[in-house]
Each structure stands twice: as structure tokens, then as C-alpha cells.
């Protein structure tokens, strides 16, 4: 059985959106917090990594949000190492709240040299501490091809989005991707106020992000967005680029909820026809 570490977090008010639900990127920050604590509890704290000149970087994050979490909830964040594969490691997470499982997630971490950021072989002592397990196959990235003219928006990297390596934090990319979805909806004639007035607002229920390169402060990012539909969900597919270079690709799934509640009848009438040029099979 894997060694399971459990952290506790309490949802704070500044982590909520305008409808009182936790911002999706906050979940990714909870995961990182639990992973760091789990490593330290096993004897691999910041001092150990500093002495070895190594660190972990996130290569891919996936999360399924079963139920939006709200203010004041106390969450148990359980995490365990699922496998080691030369320079990589899958770590799984479950966030459990007052009504059971809220979020199920996985990160694919890469072990790297702290200066060059080149991959390093995971040392035997790490494998032994967390339990050497058979390597799992990495799921190939899948997304429908972009239409000829996807929705195009941009974002300038902000100081608060950087991590300790002066790169955009992995969770911040989910904020950037989510904002781009709302920007494209607005360009299609469905601004935020109109969504609220329709009685059905998009709520992220799944995210899958693959990180290919890093962005830094002040850089201009271009986000291409297109959609597919699996009724009643709207699936957004995105490329986040810098000067034509692909940095991050993202797939997100959006359900629908009443502004003041968790359930919704589906997308508002007229929205999908407005998105038709951006929807692919």
C-alpha cells in the first residue's frame, strides 16, 4: 500500500469567486502545499533538496472537481506517490470535505537539477522512502485540432503569478486559461453580466494542463481557444504561447450552475450558436 500523507486546509474567503465557490486554481495550490508537506514528513524537506541541488517541477496537472467547495470548509488533502519513472513521478490527491470527495487529482512531477533545470535520475533513497512502484504509462495528450480561426486573446505576465524560480506558477496558468474562456465568450456576445442574467454560468469541473516551457515576468502570452461540446458540458481547448512557441496546452470542462447554486439546466439558449465558428467535432 502507498504511504498516504494527509494535510488539512481551511478554505479562506479570498480564495472564493464572486459566487462563493473556490477558484479552480486554488485547488492546484492546495495540491502543491500537500506535496511539499508530504515530502518533508518523509525526510525530504527544503534543506535536503538544497543540499542535493535538486527540485521537482510539475509537468502535467489533472483535476476533477466533483463538487465546488465553499467558504469555511475544512478539507482533508490526502496524497501519495503513485509511481517513479526514471526522472518522473506521479502523485495522486483526494480532497475530502464535509460531504465526501470534492476533488480527485494527479500531478506528473519531473525531478530536475536546481540550476540547469535539466532532468535528473530520481535517487534510490527517494524511491525507497515512498515505495518503488511499477511505472505507469503517461497518457498521451488528446485534443481536437484547432479551427482555422480560434478565439485569440492575450495576457501579460504579472509579478504575483511568479514562483520562486521566477517562472509563472503552474496554478496561475489555470487562472489564465479560465480568464481566456470568459474573454472569448464575451467576444462572442456573451459577457459575464449576460451569463449571470441568463441564470446559468460556466463552472469548471475538470482541468488538464501540460507544461512545456516557462513564462517570465512581463512577457506577453497569446492564448488560442476553441471548443467542443459533450452535452451538457462545454469543453475548452487552449494553447498558451509566447512568440509562437507553445508553453502550455490545456483542456478544461465546464458545467453549468445557477449563480447562487450548484446545479443548472445546461448552457443558456443562444450561447452555443454564438460559439459555432469556434466549435469543432
The per-residue pLDDT string of the chain (281 residues; one tens digit each, 9 = 90 and over) reads 568 999 999 999 999 999 999 999 999 999 999 999 999 999 999 999 999 999 999 999 999 999 988 888 899 999 999 999 999 999 999 999 988 999 999 999 999 999 999 999 999 999 999 876 678 889 999 999 999 999 999 999 999 999 999 999 999 999 999 999 999 999 999 999 999 999 999 999 999 999 999 999 999 999 999 999 999 999 999 999 999 999 999 999 999 999 877 666 789 999 999 999 999 98
CATH class of the 140-281 domain in this structure:
alpha beta
Q: How far is CA 33 from CA 234, 255, 264, in A?
A: 30, 27, 32
How would you write the chain as a 3-class SS string? CCCCEEEEEECCHHHECCCCEECHHHHHHHHHHHHHHHHHHCCCCHHHHHHHCEEEEEEEEEEEECCCCECCCEEEEEEEEEEEECCEEEEEEEEEECCEEEEEEEEEEEEEECCCCCECCCCHHHHHHHCCCCCCCCCCCCCCCCCCCCEEEEEECCHHHECCCCCECHHHHHHHHHHHHHHHHHHCCCCHHHHHHHCCEEEEEEEEEEECCCCCCCCEEEEEEEEEEECCEEEEEEEEEECCEEEEEEEEEEEEECCCCCCCCCCCCCHHHHHHHHECC
Residue 166 to residue 159: CA distance in whole angstroms: 9
Q: What is the pLDDT of residue 113?
A: 98
Examine domains 1-137 and 140-281 and report if their fold is the same: yes
Q: What is the pLDDT of residue 248?
A: 98
* 264 CB neighbour count, 10 Å cutoff: 19
Q: In this structure, which long-range contacts are made by residues 185-190, counting pairs with CB atoms below 8 Å and at least 24 apart in sequence?
A: 185/271, 185/275, 187/151, 187/153, 188/151, 188/271, 188/274, 188/275, 188/278, 189/274, 190/268, 190/271, 190/274
Q: What is the pLDDT of residue 137?
A: 87
Q: What is the pLDDT of residue 176?
A: 98
Considering the entire predicted model, what is its pTM? 0.95
Residue 81 to residue 263: CA distance in whole angstroms: 34
* CATH 3.40.50.300 holds for 1-137: no
- Residue-range domain boundaries for the chain: 1-137, 140-281
Amino acid at each position: 500500500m502507498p504511504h498516504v500523507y494527509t494535510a488539512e486546509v481551511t478554505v479562506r474567503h479570498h480564495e472564493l469567486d464572486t459566487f462563493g465557490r473556490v477558484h479552480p486554481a486554488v485547488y492546484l495550490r492546495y495540491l502543491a502545499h500537500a506535496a511539499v508537506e508530504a515530502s518533508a514528513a518523509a525526510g525530504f524537506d527544503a534543506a535536503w533538496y538544497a543540499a542535493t541541488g535538486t527540485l521537482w517541477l510539475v509537468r502535467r496537472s489533472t483535476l476533477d472537481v466533483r463538487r465546488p467547495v465553499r467558504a469555511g470548509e475544512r478539507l482533508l488533502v490526502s496524497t501519495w506517490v503513485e509511481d517513479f519513472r526514471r526522472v518522473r513521478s506521479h502523485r495522486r490527491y483526494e480532497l475530502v470535505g464535509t460531504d465526501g470527495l470534492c476533488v480527485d487529482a494527479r500531478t506528473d512531477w519531473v525531478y530536475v537539477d536546481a540550476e540547469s533545470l535539466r532532468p535528473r535520475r530520481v535517487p534510490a533513497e527517494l524511491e525507497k522512502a515512498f515505495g518503488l512502484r511499477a511505472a505507469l504509462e503517461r497518457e498521451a495528450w488528446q485534443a481536437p485540432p484547432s479551427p482555422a480561426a480560434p478565439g485569440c486573446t492575450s495576457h501579460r505576465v504579472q509579478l504575483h503569478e511568479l514562483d520562486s524560480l521566477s517562472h509563472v506558477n503552474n496554478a496561475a496558468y489555470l487562472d489564465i486559461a479560465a480568464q481566456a474562456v470568459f474573454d472569448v465568450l464575451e467576444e462572442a456576445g456573451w459577457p459575464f453580466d449576460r451569463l449571470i442574467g441568463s441564470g446559468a454560468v460556466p463552472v469548471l469541473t475538470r482541468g488538464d494542463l501540460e507544461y512545456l516551457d516557462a513564462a517570465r515576468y512581463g512577457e506577453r502570452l497569446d492564448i488560442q481557444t476553441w471548443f467542443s461540446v459533450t452535452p451538457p458540458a462545454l469543453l475548452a481547448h487552449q494553447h498558451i504561447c509566447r512568440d509562437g512557441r507553445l508553453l502550455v496546452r490545456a483542456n478544461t470542462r465546464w458545467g453549468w450552475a445557477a449563480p447562487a447554486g450548484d446545479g443548472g439546466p445546461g448552457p443558456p439558449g443562444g450561447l452555443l450558436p454564438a460559439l459555432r465558428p469556434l466549435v469543432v467535432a
